[in-house]
Amino acid sequence: MDLGNLFVMFITFTLINNVILNQFLGICPFMGVSKKSSSAIGMGAAVTFVIVAASLVTYALYYAVLEPLSLQYMDLITFILVIASLVQLVEMIIKKLSPALYKALGVYLPLITTNCVVLNVTLNNISEGYNFAEMLTYAIAIPVGFTLVLYIFSTIRERLDICSVPKAFAGNPIALIVAGIMALAFSGLAGLV
Amino acid sequence: MNRKENFTAGFIRENPVFGLYLGLCSTLAITTTLNNAIGMGVAVILVLVMSNIIISCLRKVTPSEIRIPVYIVVIATLVKIIQMLIKAYAPALDSALGVFIPLIVVNCIILGRAEAFASKNGVFDSALDGLGMGLGYTVSIIVMSALRQILATGMLTFENPFNVEQSIFAFRLIPEDYVISMFSQPVGAFITFALLAGALAAYKNHQTAKEEKKEAAAKAALKEAK
């Protein structure tokens, strides 16, 4: 596979097949940490690190350990444990480096463990039969798309705070309508590739 | 809180989907048809009830520092069993739900109930709580998928998941020329969800306003009596 195809794959998974707006993964942090744009960036960075690291570790584990021993059915349990320990690591690093960011992310940081994006990427790496280069492109493209949409969404929500909305729609429901309109806008990018 | 209240909490008051915003990923993704919603709902109920029972049994021997990894391993094992069963007996459902079956592991409802309820309560209560919450989730996704399917295709269909050929019911509500296919796409998912969540919030606001009015009236009556 040449570089051109990898580039097309990158664009496909960041913009067209966007992980939040098209595949509906990672909606919990999307709703939870999108109230301020600075924490959106921090969350995006943390998720990116966890996804790339988890992909490398689980890819190696699957092909070096599980497959030779024909233990493929243990994939789910192995992967989730790898992800849980990586999240613990990231939590310790962020706590040490930036206590302010640690506070802003709050409960959503340990919840990266149960972020469907991470588990989805590691499972798809295997089920789609990606080779190493494709796996790496996929593992970078997905969180980049996640961060991009999370950032755009958080900037819209900052403005939404000062608007007056019907009482029943205040908070999350109106944010979901915004997400719907964003999904409509992103579906216009489908002709890109 | 008695058992009945505890069981019915998941439907309106603490509805996991539209009230607490848990398990959103699967809700938005698989509510395109009624078939998918029912299949997913049943899978989630099975996992939730069994995980609540097991975690409740283990609650006295689990050290609290490592409780989350313990819960996740229990849940992942159960989900893998369900996934293998679905693959063997209902392959059509397996291909329709795709990656969202293994992703039940990271469905916040299941881990949330394990942490909030099963780790503190007895086995029977935990099973009941799992069943109630699971039914709340299932009813929510069935309502949402029925709405989306009717608006997007004009039809409401349900097939036997174990035998795709056998249709249990299929009828048309909206003529083909007037359907809005947008509702089967991501946009429709977000907007349907927002409208339903708004409706639930409006209902709750109405209830609290009513209660406040009642209290105020009672207070006024008390003052007059004095």
Which residue in B has a C-alpha nearest to residue A18's C-alpha? B186
Say whether pLDDT at B53 is over 90: yes
B215 lies in a domain? no
Please give the Cα distance from A177 to A167 (Å, whole number): 15
- The residue of chain A with its CA nearest to that of B78 is A77
Lowest mean pLDDT among B4-13, B94-103, B155-164: B4-13
- Residue at B126 is within a domain: yes
Give the pLDDT confidence score for residue B78 in this predicted structure.
92
Name which of A192, A156, A190 is nearest A175 in CA terms.
A156
User: Complex ipTM, two decimals?
Assistant: 0.81
Q: Say whether B76 and A76 touch across the interface (CB within 8 A).
A: yes
Residues in chain A: 193
Which amino acid, residue B6?
Answer: N
Interface test with B, best of A23, A25, A109 (most B CBs within 10 A): A25
- Per-residue pLDDT, averaged over B50-72, amounts to 86
In whole angstroms, give the CA distance from residue B197 to residue B186.
17
Of B83, B108, B189, nearest to A24 by CB-CB distance is B189
Q: How far apart are CA B66 and CA A84, in angstroms?
A: 11
Q: Are A26 and B28 spatial neighbours (Cβ–Cβ below 8 Å)?
A: no
Q: Write out the residue range of the structural domain in which residue B141 sits.
A: 3-205
Strands (E), chain A: none
Spatial separation of the C-alpha atoms in residues A111 and A28, rounded to whole Å: 9
pTM of this structure = 0.83
- What's the half-sphere exposure (Cβ side, CA atoms, 13 Å) at B94? 14
Q: Residue A123: its chain B contacts at CB < 8 A? A: 99, 102
Contact B194 A21 (CB under 8 A): no
Query: What is the torsional sign of CA A21, A25, A28, A29?
Result: negative
Q: Is A76 close to B80, i.e. CB distance below 8 A?
A: yes
What is the predicted pLDDT for the residue at A1? 58
Residues in chain B within 8 Å Cβ distance of A168: 198-199, 201-202, 205
Closest by CA to A33, choosing from A92, A107, A90, is: A107
Q: Is residue B24 part of a domain?
A: yes
Which of B118, B78, B69, B126 has the alpha carbon at shortest distance from B102? B78
Q: Tell me whether A115 touches chain B (CB under 8 Å).
A: yes
Q: Is residue B219 part of a domain?
A: no
HSE-CB at B183 with a 13 A cutoff on CA atoms is 21
Q: Kindly provide the b/e burial profile for residues A73-85, where b requires at least 16 CB atoms within 10 angstroms of the residue's own CB.
A: ebbbbbbbbbbbe
Give the span between the Cα atoms of A69 and A62, in whole angstroms: 10
Residue B226 resides in a domain: no
Say if residues B158 and B168 touch (Cβ distance below 8 Å): yes
Q: Give pLDDT tens digits for B68-97.
A: 788 888 999 999 999 999 989 888 888 888
pLDDT tens by residue, B130-179: 898 889 889 889 989 988 888 888 888 787 777 767 777 777 877 878 88
Strand partners, B175: none
A77/B77 CB distance under 8 A: yes
Distance in Å, alpha carbon of B214 to nearest chain A alpha carbon: 21
For the cut 60, the answer to whether the pLDDT of residue B1 exceeds it is no
Query: Hey, are the CB atoms on B186 and A84 less than 8 Å from each other?
Result: no
Rounded Cα–Cα distance for residues A50 and A39 (Å): 16
Residue matched to tokens 């209240």: B5
Start-to-end CA span in chain B (Å): 34
Averages of pLDDT over runs of 10 residues in chain A (193 residues) are: 82 86 83 81 85 90 86 84 85 84 75 80 87 90 91 90 82 87 86 75
Number of H helices, E strands in chain B: 8, 2
Number of domains observed in the structure of chain B: 1
CB atoms within 10 A of CB A166: 11
